[in-house]
Amino acid sequence: MKIHWDEKAERQMNQVAIYILQNFGVKSLINFRQELNHTTELLQSNPYMCALESLLTKRSRTYRSTIINKLSKMVYYVDEQNETIHIAAFWDCRREPLAQIEHLE
């Protein structure tokens, strides 16, 4: 399966990356990117490996999520017809979860 980052999710991920770089340095940013790449590689071979996202159970899509690090969570759904994993959101775990789910279907 291929990975597709929704525009908002990519923007959210970049904000977390900038925060990590500014507050923790280049080494932490490299570790973050490696963990993110490792997670997306695992998803490509097993897209249903992550738990259902409990905050999004009443949405039209079946969302799953995984923790990337202490600061972030990646939310995605699987489109079997197009063989695509859509990264729909990249949440900052320090923020109120309900404030982050509004834009998801």
pLDDT tens-place string over residues 25-42 = 999 999 999 999 999 999
Q: Looking at the predicted structure, is the pLDDT value of residue 100 above 70?
A: no
Residue boundaries of the structural domains of the chain: 2-95
Nearest to 75, CA basis, from 41, 30, 93, 17: 93
pLDDT tens-place string over residues 41-73 = 999 999 999 999 888 888 888 999 999 988 889
pLDDT exceeding 90 applies to what percent of the chain?
Answer: 65
User: CATH assignment of 2-95, given 3.40.190.10, 3.50.30.10, 3.30.2310.20, 3.40.50.10140?
Assistant: 3.30.2310.20
Predicted pLDDT of residue 103: 59
Q: Is the dihedral of CA 72, 31, 33, 79 positive or negative?
A: negative
What is the pTM (predicted TM-score) of this model? 0.86
